[in-house]
Amino acid sequence: MNTKLKQVFRGKVVNKAHTINTGVDEFPRYVVEYLIDNYCAEETFHQDMEGPSAGVAMVTGIVSALRRLPVRHNLAMTGEITIMGRVLPVGGIQQKVRAAYDAGIAEVLLPADNLKEANGLPASILGAITLTPVQSIDEVLRRALLDGEGHSQTGASSSPRNQTSASASVR
């Protein structure tokens, strides 16, 4: 990754980290460098930045790294995040849910204001994936981060999607 892109991304990571209560007094530089080196590839960025849809995923990754808690591997998420931690709607919800379905994802966290659009997907997709509307980053973190026993604060685990589910599951 080129130096300019690293500088742009470093600023974005630090800014996102300061929008949430990470439970850490000082934001360690090694966490920023780790996130940049391990999760950001130059080819994934258009115009040298991520889109607003990556906001909740970025914050979740930062909190995961700082608290040393893993993120559920069967979970996808999208949503723009405000400085106060509110999750805002984004575009392309149907395409994002379809991509999660194609990847075998069990649950998608999406902005509550996008749920109506997502419910326009075919029944075969809605029957196989759980759509969970969220309004705040706190809701996202409760569902996404796993404790030492492999469960989220809501009791969800990282078990694979049930391919034979008969009806859409919306939380």
Which residues are catalytic, by number? 53, 96
Distances (CA, A) of 26 to 29, 31, 36, 146, 162: 9, 11, 18, 23, 41
**127 and 104 in contact (C-beta within 8 Å)?**
no
| Angle CA 76–79–82, to nearest 5 | 140
**Maximum Cα–Cα distance for the chain, whole Å?**
49
Give the pairing type, strands 75-77 and 107-111. Answer: parallel
Q: At which residue do the structure tokens 């990556």 appear?
A: 54
